[in-house]
Structure 1
Amino acid sequence: MDVLADALSVMRVGTSASARTEARAPWGLRFPAINGASFHVVLQGTCWLVPEGDREPLPLTSGDIVFLREGSAHGLADDPATQLADFAPSRQDPSSPIGQVTVDGPGARTMLLCGAYQLGNARPHPLLRELPEIVHLPARPGRHGALHSMIGLLGAELDERRPGRDGVVPALVDAMLLYILRAWVDDRAAEEARQRVADGRGPAGWAVALTDPAIGRALEGIHAEPARPWTVEELGTRGGLSRSVFAQRFTTLVGESPLAYLTWWRMTIAGRLLRESDAPLSTVAQTVGYSSEFAFAKAFKREYGLAPGRYRRGAAH
């Protein structure tokens, strides 16, 4: 079981949206806050990300990617001082999943792919909570080759307008979310390793957990078989560690004990099943490892503050 893909699958609540943006200086675009996460890929040229509040503007160049974890309001512009206009993509074909924004001007040309992922932020996976609000992945030679190859493919598809583009681009955009998070995991794990050498402290965090052989295998087990009556000893055995060493290492890296995370994940799956299916509560309970509907309801209410039935009725409205 792929833990990263599985974690995202329970957060996705809709399809991604994207727009090809072509602008010539001077230009500035204002992006409102959304319920999800937003992203920008600089396909050609340069620009500035202008966050709201007291954050400093961020210069971007061709091949750079920015990912805004909570979809916060922000701007993009040729210069931080340029006045911003509302981002309002149009579609020549209303059925096309790809929007278009064009800003004419006398200056330098910039081409971007701008878009958003619909994510349920009410119960984000702890991996997502660990991300900075703005993830910047600069186009560094030799780093994240697969991700930047995908950027090249996206740029070609948007430029050439070949048959099948409306099917290819959304698929690439969906896959890009995993590539972005994988790149962040790789960078964060490498930084933790450097810090461990520099100051002697132990590594911590989800990026390290996913790349740690022992903890990674335990997480894969939990995600592959959430209904299994796991014990700490069994999870530790998967990674070749004793019960005590495994429990301490898991808690250090993940931020909670193995069984606490198992319960959290079970309740996350249960919440999705209650929102998206009409399966009986007994079936939902068994799917996440509870033989007793009463025990499941008690655990669910402790986690969500609502009984499963009330939660399902609320999600339906």
Structure 2
Amino acid sequence: MFADVDVVSDVISAMRLGKPHSTRTERRAPWAVRHEPFAGAGFHLVLEGTCWLTTPDGTRIELRAGDVAFLPHGGAHALAGDPTAPTEVPPVPLTAPSDDPDNDTGPRTVMLCGAYLMDRSWPHPLLRELPDLVHLPGGLGRHQSLRGAVELLATELAWPRLGRDAVVPALLDALLLYMIRAWLEDQPEGSGWTTAVRDPAVRTALLGIHSTPGRQWTVASLGELAGLSRAAFARRFTSLVGQPPLGYLTWWRMILAARLLRASDAPLRSVAAQVGYTSEFAFGAAFKRQHGLTPGAYRRKGTT
């Protein structure tokens, strides 16, 4: 019934802002750069050579060819050609041009680095569960879809070709989903969203909410969809998702409403109807409870 809806993709599309960007860099040791925190998510892919990534809490990992370092919350970090290189250097943004590889004669490191802008005002719980740093090793047989996206992106950035301006953003969008999918697949069974999206009953209910958020859902109707009694479904959903079914439904409706208000000039009554409210007044009250502004004020703020 809901085969055309994917909860993870829906979450990302609601949180994303603007277009992603990336650069291909080549450096020869010794080198070190520092990246300051930013409102988004970043990644580093090692195509050739090795480097070391260090975070402010002292975490240090070696990145080898084929490895991906994903920073879902845009945290500060440093990259260096070897573990002893100083990291207290002037910050370099992710969009910095490639260094001249002929300036030094040490081992060469070739990387793809990129960033996505994200709306952090009301982050989805799925994104909140992601750690500050996700290291996805490039071993054979692991995350083949991610490996394929990396290879395609590296090819496009290495040699300018027709259609590159359209292909690269599409590949970056795919890469973001592949990185999150790879992390989810690597997580053990437990609680929270990593388990919620695997649980057949809860996943079915989430698909229902995300596919038709404007439907007049009740706990009973969602439980029936999930194949559980009302009480059993409510307990299971709340335990895995972190909030009751109707609480999540309202929260998600308000996230969608904010996106509609930012992206269109549709009348408020139309936005209200799309997210399940027959009363514009009730919609406005619910929106203000979550966002702190009336829908009209939120729209005006977004255009200034």
Fold shared, TM-score > 0.5 on shorter chain: yes
Displacement after TM superposition at 1:155 (Å): 2.6
Q: How does 1:108-127 map to 2 (within 5 A)?
A: 108-127=107-126
- Residue in 1 aligned with 2:48? 44
Distance 1:125 1:251, change over 3 A: same
1:295 pairs with one of 269, 273, 282:
282
Which runs of no fewer than 5 residues in structure 2 stay unpaired?
none
Assess if the C-alpha contact under 8 Å between 2:20 and 2:172 holds in 1: yes
Displacement after TM superposition at 1:85 (Å): 4.8
- Residue in 2 aligned with 1:54? 57
Distance 1:172 1:215, change over 3 A: same
Matched to 2:19, the amino acid is T
- Residue in 1 aligned with 2:215? 228
Assess if the C-alpha contact under 8 Å between 1:20 and 1:101 holds in 2: no
Assess if the C-alpha contact under 8 Å between 2:7 and 2:207 holds in 1: yes
- Residue in 1 aligned with 2:84? 81
- Residue in 1 aligned with 2:205? 218
- Residue in 2 aligned with 1:197? none
Assess if the C-alpha contact under 8 Å between 1:27 and 1:77 holds in 2: yes
Assess if the C-alpha contact under 8 Å between 1:21 and 1:102 holds in 2: no
Displacement after TM superposition at 1:210 (Å): 1.0
- Residue in 2 aligned with 1:28? 32
The number of residue pairs the alignment matches comes to 297
Distance 1:178 1:164, change over 3 A: same
Moved more, 154-163 or 3-12: 154-163
Displacement after TM superposition at 1:301 (Å): 1.2
Give per-residue Cα distances to partners, 1:109-165, cap 9 Å, x unaligned: 111100100111111111001101111111133221111122222233333444444
Q: How does 1:1-317 map to 2 (within 5 A)?
A: 1-51=5-55, 53-83=56-86, 84-87=89-92, 100-103=98-101, 104-188=103-187, 191-192=188-189, 203-317=190-304
**TM-score under structure 1 length normalisation:** 0.88
Distance 1:294 1:134, change over 3 A: same
Matched to 1:221, the amino acid is G
Displacement after TM superposition at 1:88 (Å): 5.5
Assess if the C-alpha contact under 8 Å between 2:22 and 2:95 holds in 1: no
Distance 1:311 1:250, change over 3 A: same
State how far apart, in whole Å, the 1-side matches of 2:284 and 2:163 are.
Answer: 47
Distance 1:22 1:280, change over 3 A: same
Give per-residue Cα distances to partners, 1:8-44, cap 9 Å, x unaligned: 1111110001000111111112222222111111111
Assess if the C-alpha contact under 8 Å between 1:89 and 1:100 holds in 2: no
Helix, strand or coil for the counterpart of 2:83?
Answer: coil
Assess if the C-alpha contact under 8 Å between 2:216 and 2:276 holds in 1: yes
State how far apart, in whole Å, the 2-side matches of 1:165 and 1:290 are.
Answer: 42
Distance 1:167 1:286, change over 3 A: closer
Helix, strand or coil for the counterpart of 2:39?
Answer: coil
State how far apart, in whole Å, the 2-side matches of 1:60 and 1:216 are.
Answer: 34
Q: Using the aligned pairs only, state the percent identity.
A: 53
Give per-residue Cα distances to partners, 1:199-232, cap 9 Å, x unaligned: xxxx311111111111111101100000001111
